Structure 1
Amino acid sequence: MVERVALAIRDLAVQFESEQGVVRALDGVSFDLHAGRTLGIVGESGCGKSVTARSILRLVDRPGRITAGRMLLDPGAEGEVDLAALDPESRRMRGVRGGRIGLIFQEPMTALSVHYTIGNQIIEAVRQHADCSAAEARNRAVDLLRDVGIPRPETRLRAYPFELSGGLRQRVGIAMALAGDPDIVIADEPTTALDVTTQAQILDLLRRLQAEKQIALMLITHDMGVIAEMADEVAVMYLGRIVEFAPVADVFSAPRHPYARALLRAVPSILAAPRQRLSTIGGAVPHPGSRPSGCPFHPRCAEIIGDICRQQIPAPVEPGRAGASCFLTEPGRERAA
């Protein structure tokens, strides 16, 4: 049984205009996010992962703007909404932001305001999306802290963020993301700056909450280990484009795009010989304002075919179907490879 599509992104393009020129941060991103499932979005820094998340919630800072595409909430349903067509400051968009879609910010040490207690911040988020009294909102805040595994939640409501460890702050961030009882949660690098034990606890928490509430989870990370543990499907991003989309087992067993293969080769292995050097990807992600011609990955690709990669852009991955945006995956070449 295929779960319903909670969010459909189609041909999303985001640009930042400056005196130096136009920067295409996203260049035709398309994917589906299914209810009750986890979509992992992976890639190096600068590939457009966080811009995608902020675009969905209409939080792209100026001079950035969405220049093309649709972001359909509940596609095909009677209440379908195109988020790209809404005013970012409108009442309807504010209702979606934090209500229908929750966001777990990347950095737990700075995501919370140092001027207000934990309780003030969660209660404000609750009352923003629910018609309830202050006492009811406080009780909801206590329940949220208990759900995310924070001990003595009644006492913690009076704590300030600087009184909590990084792991507890991240749990508070998850509680705030769930305050509006969302259908979709976007987790932007939720384990950044946390030790490995706390990372495991946070991932277990996200998995449990998703199973209990049937949340559609969009998990943004550069950690392939997190992807292997958490994701159902994987979208590999490079320079503002999705270059491969597939079920997680397929990405790890038979990645189709050279960039996905290079990312996997760079993952440390316990089976490697002692003192063996890690595999690296030569070069760096180009600046979005100076994109190479042809395939965006060709200057770093170890499997480049020739002029076709330097001069032509591969067809994008079709939304909802496994595939790769690479000339190597064309039927004749794929068999030859």
Structure 2
Amino acid sequence: MADRTSLAVRDLAVEFRSEQGVVRALDGVSFDLHAGRTLGVVGESGCGKSVTARSILRIVDRPGRITAGRMILDPGTPREVDLAQLDPESKEMRGVRGGRVGLIFQEPMTALSVHYTVGNQIMEAVLQHADISKAEAQNRAIELLREVGIPRPETRISAYPFELSGGLRQRVGIAMALAGDPEIVIADEPTTALDVTTQAQILSLLRRLQEEKNIALMLITHDMGVIAEMADEVAVMYLGRVVEFAPVEEVFSEPRHPYTRALLRAVPSILATPRQRLSTIGGAVPHPGARPSGCPFHPRCSEQLGALCTEQSPRPVPPGRSGAACFKVDQSEAVTA
């Protein structure tokens, strides 16, 4: 079923402890991933998007650790498991990682080893999750390369990553993410390093594979254009929190949070006057170790409501419901009601 919940994340918190103190990278993140649908996760660098993805797969770099929250895979089914409770090095977690949840990395040249052929690397991923012979794994690797649109897969299987273009390397990365036949795929900015033509091809490939396999896709990106084209729902993140969640049509037609509106104003428009300066968001994302009091966005917000925003934290967005973590939104909805 297309509306089946594949992953339910609730109140996820991740901290990095060092001699300088504690840095909270994620602060109560909640969302759902649904089979056959795409959740777009958007926000500036440093908002916690990639840490969220790595937390799901339990590959957060040390000294980072999950300090609170749940990540329920296949909730309400016999296969239900809380990923937050698993040992990252356990056999069960290794089975989930790549088997039930696949990850497409941002930069395939660093994600792929230059010392092994792409065929060997895909075969390793296949053998990790299937009890088959090396010959069968090689055939599966060729099939995966063909599936992601790589020409002449029988010969390309012997190529090294540096012998392939950026677009082909990214297709290899997608093939590796699909090697264990996962039900969830996390794509961490899969088109950032690609030209616009190759980007369109990769996005079209992801959409086709999702439809064919009924995959729950979590698409992390800075690009609001990619969000508009690919996402069904959108989670806008800021400083380790989801500050707005809504269907993609609502995000673009009626954005609720001031940060979402600021992101959309910064998108170039073909209707803009020639040489018109792009809109920018003043300031920068604060360091997670120096969080402002109250609403985390208030130092950069032109719509703040004085002490209410500077001293109190807005309530989080309820999982699975449209909303924004903003006092101004709460007030306007209360007046409407």
Give the drift of 1:302: 1.0
In structure 2, what is the Cα distance between the partners aligned to 1:97 and 1:332?
43
Partner of 1:15: 15
Could you tell me which amino acid in structure 2 is paired with residue 262 of structure 1? A
* Structure 2 counterparts to residues 37-186 of structure 1, below 5 A: 37-186=37-186
**Cα pair distance change 1:210/1:98, threshold 3 Å:** same
Q: SS where residue 330 of structure 1 aligns?
A: helix
**Cα pair distance change 1:126/1:33, threshold 3 Å:** same
Which deviations, in whole Å up to 9, do the C-alpha atoms of 1:117-137 show, x marking residues without a partner?
011000010000001111111
In structure 1, what is the Cα distance between the partners aligned to 2:278 and 2:63?
39
Could you tell me which amino acid in structure 2 is paired with residue 324 of structure 1? A
Q: SS where residue 9 of structure 2 aligns?
A: strand
User: Does 2:224 align with 1:239?
Assistant: no
Residue pair 2:2, 2:37 contacting (<8 A) in 1 also: no
Give the drift of 1:109: 2.0
Residue pair 1:117, 1:158 contacting (<8 A) in 2 also: yes
**Cα pair distance change 1:93/1:56, threshold 3 Å:** same
In structure 2, what is the Cα distance between the partners aligned to 1:193 and 1:335?
46
Give the drift of 1:332: 4.4
In structure 2, what is the Cα distance between the partners aligned to 1:140 and 1:88?
27
Q: Which runs of 5+ in 2 are unaligned?
A: none
In structure 2, what is the Cα distance between the partners aligned to 1:79 and 1:175?
25
In structure 2, what is the Cα distance between the partners aligned to 1:4 and 1:328?
33
TM-score, L = length of structure 2 = 0.98
In structure 2, what is the Cα distance between the partners aligned to 1:57 and 1:302?
37
Partner of 1:273: 273
In structure 2, what is the Cα distance between the partners aligned to 1:302 and 1:167?
40
Residue pair 1:40, 1:231 contacting (<8 A) in 2 also: yes
**Cα pair distance change 1:333/1:6, threshold 3 Å:** closer
Give the drift of 1:273: 0.5
Residue pair 1:327, 1:333 contacting (<8 A) in 2 also: no
In structure 2, what is the Cα distance between the partners aligned to 1:75 and 1:29?
17
Could you tell me which amino acid in structure 2 is paired with residue 11 of structure 1? D
Residue pair 2:12, 2:69 contacting (<8 A) in 1 also: yes
Residue pair 1:328, 1:334 contacting (<8 A) in 2 also: no
User: Does 2:37 align with 1:32?
Assistant: no
Could you tell me which amino acid in structure 1 is paired with residue 196 of structure 2? V
How many residue pairs get aligned? The number is: 336
In structure 2, what is the Cα distance between the partners aligned to 1:333 and 1:77?
36
**Cα pair distance change 1:334/1:109, threshold 3 Å:** farther
Give the drift of 1:334: 6.5
Give the ranges of 4+ consecutive aligned residues of structure 1 lying more than 3 Å apart after TM superposition: 331-336
Give the drift of 1:331: 4.1
**Cα pair distance change 1:212/1:166, threshold 3 Å:** same
Give the drift of 1:111: 1.1
Partner of 2:222: 222
Which deviations, in whole Å up to 9, do the C-alpha atoms of 1:261-306 show, x marking residues without a partner?
0000000000000111100000000000000000000000011111
In structure 2, what is the Cα distance between the partners aligned to 1:181 and 1:23?
35
In structure 2, what is the Cα distance between the partners aligned to 1:274 and 1:67?
50
Q: Which runs of 5+ in 1 are unaligned?
A: none
